[in-house]
A and B are shown apart, each in its own frame.
Chain A
Amino acid sequence: MNYIENIFICLTAPLIISVLCLRGKGRRQMLFVILGMLSSLLSAYVSTFIAGAQGADLLSASMEISPLVEELMKIFPVVFYVLVFEAGREEITDSIMMIAIGFATFENAYYMTQSDSMGLIHLLIRGFGTGAMHVVCGYIIAIGLLRLWDKEWLRVAGTIALLAVAISYHGIFNILVSQTGVAAFIGYVIPVFTTVLNLGFRSKIISK
């Protein structure tokens, strides 16, 4: 039996120590990785609660409830950071990416300990696919914050809309990977492809 809390403690304990040792930007980024993992843990609790309250089975919960809860939980630490520390755009973008990375790492670790032994290829596809999906969802929101709107109220409205887009992207990924065969493979490949495409255009998009 693998308890999700055990995995969380095992993964975050060394990271928490590193936060104490690190300074400046590195410390902040590590803190957001831990917050990403914490968001993943809390998402599991909240999704389970909502699924139970609505009488949803495991499959429906993973396709229809989890994407919504997970993307919302990922954005909460950023909202707190923006409101309390009045962070700049670049810092917000970095924090979104670090949270996404922490979230994906914890989710992958939990998934792999829960499942029986799988082939190396499946693990690689699953690991990179999920990791890329969370990074893409983070990137969707980061791009909007960084580039699209100057006025504060437009940025708030736009970020909410981009969050909804990220939730849909996540939902589509979950539907596809819950299938078998080609559909699951396409599901895992889409975020990897999006990430590679994004890397190609990144410099043009980021540079203003």
Chain B
Amino acid sequence: MIEITENALQLLCAVYCVLISIRHSDNLQKRSWTMLALASGGFFLGDLYWQLYLVFYHDTPHYSYIPYLSWYASYLFLLLLIFEIREEHTPKVRNPFLWLIPAFTSGMCIFYLQWGDWIGNISAAVLMSFLMWYAAKGVMLSLKYEEYKKYLFFYILILAFCLLEYSSWTISIFWMGDTFLNPYFWSDTMLSITFLFFPMALRKAVEE
């Protein structure tokens, strides 16, 4: 029951993000808002599929390609959104600490491979590596140059989103039951809350 409630909360947060983004996208004229609508929409559809399966069959999907595909699509749209808002002639950022990101995602991928399938885990690791790499670069750029400061909140939010995803995945391996004490629900609720802040962060980044 708690899982269903928590999923419902995530659906509401995602749909809020979809609706706000569609309202700002001006019939797809503003691509950055359209990308955010697609990212949150993809996440929403994956969640909805999962939720319907839980409600009707009291179980999670057995051959769960479909919700995962939707969530991976959401990460890809977030990556495309980063490319969309990135200005031309942006100064290059080089920092050796950035290499910690692929090291982290590869390590986690190897860890998850003990339970999950190869293709899904590697796809998630690749997408998350790119997403975190560009988000971390964005944070460094925003901290270094005053004119890029408007992007800071957006990039931090993307990083938080990725880290909360990793936190939820890791905790879900050591499932502690359908109880409020299960930290998975707290982590996943925080992930849901990031969707409430995405429109605000994007508005600050593209419209200021």
| Nearest Cβ on chain B to A48's Cβ, whole angstroms | 14
A161 close to B77 (CB less than 8 A): yes
A169 within 8 A of B: yes
Residues of chain B in range 76-102 having any CB-CB distance to chain A below 8 Å: 76-77, 79-80, 83
A171 close to B49 (CB less than 8 A): yes
In this complex, what residue of B is CB-closest to A175?
A: B52
Q: Mark A111-149 against chain B: 1 for CB-CB distance below 8 A, else 0.
A: 000000000000000000000000000000001000111
B138 within 8 A of A: no
Kindly list chain A residues whose C-beta atoms are within 8 Å of the C-beta of B83. Answer: 154
Residues of chain B in range 45-94 having any CB-CB distance to chain A below 8 Å: 45-46, 48-49, 52-53, 56, 61-67, 69-70, 72-73, 76-77, 79-80, 83
A167 close to B62 (CB less than 8 A): no
Partner of A205, one of B27, B69, B72: B27
Given A154-B83, A167-B70, A148 and B31 contact (CB-CB distance below 8 Å)? yes
A168 close to B49 (CB less than 8 A): yes
Stretch in B34-42, B150-158, B166-174, B188-196 with 4+ CB within 8 Å of A: B34-42
B28 close to A56 (CB less than 8 A): no
A148 close to B28 (CB less than 8 A): yes
Stretch in A19-27, A61-69, A80-88 with 4+ CB within 8 Å of B: A61-69
Kindly list chain B residues whose C-beta atoms are within 8 Å of the C-beta of A63. Answer: 53, 61
Partner of B76, one of A54, A147, A157: A157
| Nearest Cβ on chain A to B109's Cβ, whole angstroms | 20
B27 close to A165 (CB less than 8 A): no
B65 close to A68 (CB less than 8 A): yes
B76 close to A201 (CB less than 8 A): no
A165 close to B80 (CB less than 8 A): no
Interface size for B (C-beta < 8 A) is 31
B80 close to A154 (CB less than 8 A): yes
A64 close to B70 (CB less than 8 A): no
B66 close to A165 (CB less than 8 A): no
Given A54-B63, A64-B63, A179-B56, A167 and B80 contact (CB-CB distance below 8 Å)? no
In this complex, what residue of B is CB-closest to A201?
A: B27
Q: Mark A59-79 against chain B: 1 for CB-CB distance below 8 A, else 0.
A: 010011101100000000000
Give the A-B pair count, Cβ closer than 8 A. 88
A15 within 8 A of B: no
A160 within 8 A of B: yes
B61 close to A64 (CB less than 8 A): yes
B52 close to A167 (CB less than 8 A): no
> With A and B bound together, what is the CA distance between A161 and B79 in angstroms?
11
B80 close to A147 (CB less than 8 A): no
A161 close to B31 (CB less than 8 A): no
Kindly list chain B residues whose C-beta atoms are within 8 Å of the C-beta of A164. Answer: 42, 69-70, 72-73, 76
Kindly list chain A residues whose C-beta atoms are within 8 Å of the C-beta of B31. Answer: 148
B56 close to A175 (CB less than 8 A): yes
Can you list 18 pairs linking A and B with CB atoms under 8 Å apart?
Answer: A60-B62, A65-B63, A143-B28, A148-B34, A148-B35, A158-B77, A158-B80, A161-B42, A161-B73, A164-B42, A165-B42, A165-B45, A168-B66, A168-B73, A175-B53, A179-B56, A183-B56, A204-B27
B interface with A by C-beta (< 8 Å):
27-28, 31, 34-35, 38, 41-42, 45-46, 48-49, 52-53, 56, 61-67, 69-70, 72-73, 76-77, 79-80, 83
* Additional 15 contacts, C-beta under 8 A, given A147-B28, A175-B49: A60-B63, A63-B61, A64-B62, A67-B66, A68-B65, A148-B28, A154-B83, A161-B72, A164-B69, A164-B72, A165-B45, A168-B49, A168-B67, A168-B69, A176-B52
Lowest 10 CB-CB distances: which A-B pairs, in order? A164-B73, A168-B45, A168-B70, A161-B73, A164-B69, A161-B76, A171-B66, A204-B27, A64-B63, A175-B52
